[in-house]
Amino acid sequence: MSSLDLRQLHDTEFPIPDEMQGNLAITSLSKVYNWSRRSSVWPMLFGLACCAIEMIATAAARYDTARFGMEVMRASPRQSDLMIVSGTVTKKMVVPIVRLYNQMPEPKYVLAMGACASGGGPFKEGYNVVSGIDQYVPVDVYVPGCPPTPQALINGLIALQKKIDGQSLANMDDVPWYGVGPSDPVPIPILGPDIIDPRQMGLIRQQAMAAAAGQPYGLRELPTVPMKIVSKTASAAGMVEVDAISVVDEAAEADRKARRQDAVARKRAFLAKS
Amino acid sequence: MYGVGILKGLGVTIRHFFNTYVEDLRYVGKKLNSTQEFERRQGAGSSGIYTVQYPEEKIAVPERFRFVPFLVVEDDDHPERPGHDWCTACGICAKVCPPQCIWIVRMEDPVTKRPIPQPEAFFIDIDICMNCGFCAEFCPFDAIKMDHDYELADYDRTGVHIHDKDKLSKPFSYWRSIAPTTAWEEAVDRGGWEHIDIIKQKQKTGAPVAKPGAAWDSPYVPPIVPVKEEAPAEAAATGVPAAGAAEAATAATEMPVEDAAKEERRKKREAALARKHAKEQDGEG
Amino acid sequence: MTDQMIAPVRPETVDIDAAIGILKERFPDAVKDDTREGYGGVIVERGQLVEIATVMRDELGFDYLSSATAVDYLGIEDSMEMVYHAYRTTGGSPLVFKAQTPRENSSVPSLIDIWPGVDFQEREAYDLYGIAFPGHPNQKRILMWEGFNGHPMRKDWKEAYYEEEHKPFDSRWPKGMVRRAEELNVYGKNVEYPADFDLSRLSDDTESSLYAGMGLGVNVEALDNTDELKTDRLVVNLGPHHPSTHGVFRMVVTLNGETIETLEPVMGYLHRNHEQIGERNAWLYNMAFTDRLDYICSMSNNLGYALAVEQLMSRGMRYTPPTYRAEVIRVLMVELTRIVNHLWAIGFLLNDLGAFFTPALYAIAEREKILDFFEATAGSRLMCNYMRFGGVFKDLPERIHSTASLLNDKVRDFDTMQYITELITEALPRAVDELDRFLTDSEIVKTRTIGVGYLPAETAIAYSAAGPLLRGSGVAYDVRRAEPYSIYPELDFDVAVRYNGDIYDRYLIRIDEMRESLRILKQILPRLEHTKGESFFAGNKAVYMPRVALGEAYGRVENPKGELGYYVVSQGDPKGPQNPWRYHVRAPSFINLTALGQMCKGQKVADVVAILGSIDIVLGETDR
pLDDT of residue C428: 93
Q: Distance, in angstroms, between C559 CA and closest chain A CA?
A: 17
- pLDDT band for B215, please (50, 70, 90 cuts): confident
- A130 lies in the same domain as A42: yes
Q: A223 and A265: one domain?
A: yes
Task: For residue C489, name the pLDDT band (cuts at 50, 70, 90).
Answer: very high
Picking from C181, C179, C177, the residue whose alpha carbon sits closest to that of residue C191 is C181
Q: By the 8 A CB rule, do B135 and B265 touch?
A: no
Q: Residue C353 to residues C284, C360, C503: CA-CA distances in angstroms?
A: 41, 12, 11
Q: Please name every residue paired with C402 in a beta bridge, in sequence order, or none if there are none.
A: B62
Element (H, E) at A69: none
**What per-residue confidence (pLDDT) applies to B261?**
59
Nearest chain A residue to C194 by CA distance is A193
* Distance (Å, whole) CA C68 – CA C463: 13
- Residue B242: its pLDDT value, please? 39
C127: pLDDT strictly greater than 80: yes
Is it the case that residue A75 has pLDDT exceeding 70? yes
Peptide bond into C397 cis (omega under 30): no
Cα-flanking dihedrals φ and ψ of residue B33, to 5°?
-105, 20
Kindly report the backbone phi and psi dihedral angles of residue A220, in degrees, each rounded to the nearest multiple of 5, phi listed first: -130, 135
pLDDT of residue B226: 44
Q: Does B96 touch chain A (CB under 8 A)?
A: no
Q: Are C596 and C246 contacting, i.e. CB atoms less than 8 angstroms apart?
A: no
Residue A108's domain spans which residues? 38-169
C159 touches chain A (CB under 8 A): yes
Question: Which residues of chain A lie closer than 8 angstroms to B69, CB-CB?
Answer: none
Across residues B113-138, what is the average pLDDT? 89
The answer to whether residues A165 and A48 belong to one domain is: yes
Question: What's the rounded Cα separation, in Å, for the pair C157 and C149?
Answer: 10
CA distance, residue C616 to nearest chain A CA (Å) = 14
Q: What pLDDT score was predicted for residue B254?
A: 43
Count up the domains in chain A and report the number: 2
The helices-and-strands tally (H runs, E runs) of chain C is 22, 16
Domain-located, residue A86: yes
**CATH code: domain of residue A165:** 3.40.50.12280
pLDDT tens-digit profile of C346-357?
A: 999 998 888 888
CB contact under 8 A, B5 and C441: yes
Q: B235-273 as b/e, with b when 16 or more CB fall inside 10 Å?
A: beeeeeeebeebbeeebeebbeeeeeeebeeebeebeeb
Q: What is the pLDDT of residues C7-57, one digit of tens each?
A: 443 333 447 888 888 888 888 888 888 888 888 889 999 888 999 999 888
ipTM of the complex: 0.88
- Let me know if residue A132 belongs to a domain: yes
Q: How confident is the model at residue C200 (pLDDT cuts 50, 70, 90)?
A: low
Q: Is C276 on the interface with A (CB under 8 A)?
A: yes
Q: What is the DSSP letter of C427?
A: I
A46 and A165 share one domain: yes
Cα dist from A192 to A248, B55, C149, whole Å = 19, 46, 8
pLDDT at C356 (0 to 100): 80
Q: Is A167 helix (H, G, I), strand (E, B) or coil?
A: coil
Domain assignment present for residue A106? The answer is: yes
Q: Per-residue pLDDT tens for C505-519? A: 999 999 999 999 999
Residue from C163, C166, C178 whose CB has the most chain B CBs within 10 Å, to mutate: C178
Which positions in chain C touch A57 (Cβ < 8 Å)?
364, 368, 381
pLDDT of residue A101: 92
Tell me, yes or no, if C266 comes closer than 8 A to chain A by beta carbon. no
Does the structure show a pLDDT above 80 at C237?
Answer: yes
What DSSP character marks residue C415?
A: E
Dihedral of the alpha carbons of C176, C181, C185, C191, in degrees to the nearest 10: 150
Mean pLDDT over A241-250 rounds to 43
Tell me the nearest-neighbour CA distance from C427 into chain A, angstroms: 16
Inter-chain touch A122–B98, beta carbons under 8 Å: yes
Q: Lowest-pLDDT range, A20-29, A160-169, B4-13, B106-115?
A: A20-29
Cβ of A144 within 8 Å of Cβ of B153? The answer is: yes
For C344, nearest residue in chain A (alpha carbons): A53
Q: Which long-range contacts (CB under 8 A, 24 or more apart) does C519-525 make?
A: C519/C492, C519/C493, C520/C331, C520/C335, C520/C491, C520/C493, C521/C332, C521/C335, C521/C336, C521/C424, C522/C424, C522/C425, C523/C491, C523/C492, C524/C328, C524/C331, C524/C332, C524/C335, C524/C491, C525/C420, C525/C421, C525/C424, C525/C425
What are the φ/ψ torsions at residue B260 (nearest 5 degrees)? Answer: -60, -40
Are the Cβ atoms of A50 and C180 closer than 8 angstroms? Answer: no
pLDDT at position C333 is: 93
Q: Which residues contact C620 (CB under 8 A, 6 or more apart)?
A: A49, A50, C247, C270, C272, C292, C293, C294, C295
Which chain B residues are within 8 Å of C404, Cβ to Cβ?
Answer: 60
Contact between chains at C172 and B89 (C-beta distance less than 8 A):
no
Rounded to an integer, the average pLDDT of B196-207 is: 86
Residue B113, pLDDT above cutoff 50: yes
Subunit contact B154:A155, Cβ cutoff 8 A: no
Contact with chain B for residue A145, Cβ under 8 A = yes
Q: Residue C459 pLDDT more than 50?
A: yes
Q: Using CA atoms, how far apart are residues A164 and C292, in angstroms rounded to an integer?
A: 33
Is C430 touching A (CB cutoff 8 A)? no
Looking only at the bridges linking them, the beta strands covering A109-113 and A141-143 are parallel
Q: Is B57 on the interface with A (CB under 8 A)?
A: no
Q: Do A60 and C365 touch (CB under 8 A)?
A: yes
State the pLDDT at residue A15.
59
Classify B165 as helix, strand or coil: helix
Q: Which fold has domain B69-178?
A: Alpha-Beta Plaits (3.30.70)
The mean pLDDT value for C375-394 works out to 90
Q: What are phi and psi of A73, to 5 degrees?
A: -90, 120
Average pLDDT of the segment spanning C429-435: 92
Distance from CA of C284 to the nearest CA of B (A): 8
Q: How confident is the model at residue A157 (pLDDT cuts 50, 70, 90)?
A: very high
Q: What is the pLDDT of residue B281?
A: 57
Which residue on chain C is closest to A47 by alpha carbon? C247
Q: pLDDT tens digits for A173-220?
A: 777 777 776 778 888 888 888 888 888 888 888 888 887 787 777 666
Please report the pLDDT score of residue C370 as a whole number: 92
Q: Cβ neighbours of residue C221 under 8 Å, at least 6 residues apart? A: C208
Poorest-pLDDT segment among B10-24, C158-172, C199-213, C577-591: C199-213
Using the beta-carbon criterion (under 8 Å), do A130 and C189 form an inter-chain contact? yes
pLDDT band at B239 (very low <50, low <70, confident <90, very high): very low
Chain A touched by C97 (CB under 8 Å): no
Using an 8 Å CB-CB cutoff, list chain A residues near C178.
226-227, 229
Which residue of chain C comes nearest to B216, CA vs CA? C398
Is residue B133 predicted with pLDDT exceeding 70?
yes
- Enter the DSSP assignment of C92: -
Give the distance from residue B216's alpha carbon to the nearest chain A alpha carbon, in angstroms. 28
Closest Cβ opposite residue A142 in set B150, B151, B153? B153
- In the prediction, which pLDDT does C14 show? 46
Q: Reading across the β-sheet that carries B169-171, which strands appear in turn?
A: B144-146, B69-73, B169-171
Same domain (yes/no): A160, A44: yes
Residue A44 has pLDDT above 80, yes or no: yes
> What's the pLDDT tens digit per position in A1-40?
344 455 555 555 555 566 666 554 445 677 888 888 889 8
Question: What gap in Å lies between CA C175 and CA B234, rounded to an integer?
Answer: 46
Report chain C's mean pLDDT, rounded to a whole number: 86
Chain-chain contact of C408 with B57 (C-beta, under 8 angstroms)? yes
State in Å, rounded, how far the first CA of chain A is from the last one: 42
Residues A138 and A207 both lie in one domain: no
d(CA B178, CA B148): 7
**Quick one: closest CA in A to C177, which residue?**
A226
User: Does position C178 have pLDDT exceeding 70, yes or no?
Assistant: yes
Model confidence band, residue C1 (pLDDT cutoffs 50, 70, 90):
very low
Distance from CA of A15 to the nearest CA of C (A): 31
Residue of A nearest to B41 (CA): A62
- C192 has a chain A CB within 8 A of its CB: yes
What is the least distance, in Å, from the CA of A31 to any CA of chain C?
27
User: What confidence tier does A228 reach under pLDDT thresholds 50, 70, 90?
Assistant: low
Domain ranges of chain B: 1-59, 69-178, 186-284
Which residues from A are below 8 Å from C249, CB to CB? none
C209 near A258, Cβ under 8 Å? no
pLDDT of residue C571: 84
The pLDDT value given to residue B280: 57
Domain check: are A63 and A163 in the same one?
yes
Asked if the Cβ–Cβ distance from A227 to C180 is below 8 Å, we say yes
DSSP A23: G
Contact (CB, 8 A) for A41 and A109? yes
Alpha-carbon separation of residue A115 from A95, B77, C374 (angstroms): 20, 36, 21
**Tens digits of per-residue pLDDT, C183-198?**
788 888 888 888 777 7
Contacting residues of B for A144, CB less than 8 Å apart? 68, 126-127, 152-154, 161
Classify residue A186: in a domain, yes or no: no
pLDDT in tens, C267-320: 889 999 999 999 988 888 999 999 999 899 999 999 999 999 988 888 876 778
DSSP C71: E
Q: Which of C173, C380, C419, C579 to mutate to test the interface with B (most CBs of B within 10 A)?
A: C173
Give B134's contacts (C-beta < 8 A, 6+ positions apart).
B93, B96, B97, B98, C284, C285, C288, C385, C544
pLDDT of A267 over the 60 cut:
yes
Nearest C-alpha neighbor of C129 from the set C143, C117, C115: C143
Residue of B nearest to A228 (CA): B159
Residue in B67, B131, B155 nearest the CB of A4: B155
Q: Please tell me which chains touch A, using 3 or more CB pairs under 8 Å as the contact test.
A: B, C
**Chain segment C241-257, per-residue pLDDT in tens:** 887 777 888 888 888 88
Given pLDDT bands bounded at 50, 70 and 90, which one contains residue C232?
low
Which residues of chain C make contact with B142, given a CB cutoff of 8 A? Answer: none
Q: Which element (helix H / strand E) includes A70?
A: none
Least confident of B6-20, C133-147, C372-386, C568-582: C568-582
SS3 state of residue C479: helix
Q: How many CA atoms lie within 13 A of A204 on its CB side?
A: 23
The residue of B108, B124, B151 whose CB has the most chain A CBs within 10 angstroms, and thus the best one to mutate to test that interface, is: B151
User: What local confidence, expressed as pLDDT, does residue C560 receive?
Assistant: 92
A118 CB neighbours in chain B (<8 A) are 127, 157, 161
Q: What's the pLDDT score for residue C2?
A: 45
Check residue C169 and give its pLDDT: 86
**Candidate from C174, C406, C544 with C-beta closest to B106:** C174
The DSSP symbol for B210 reads -
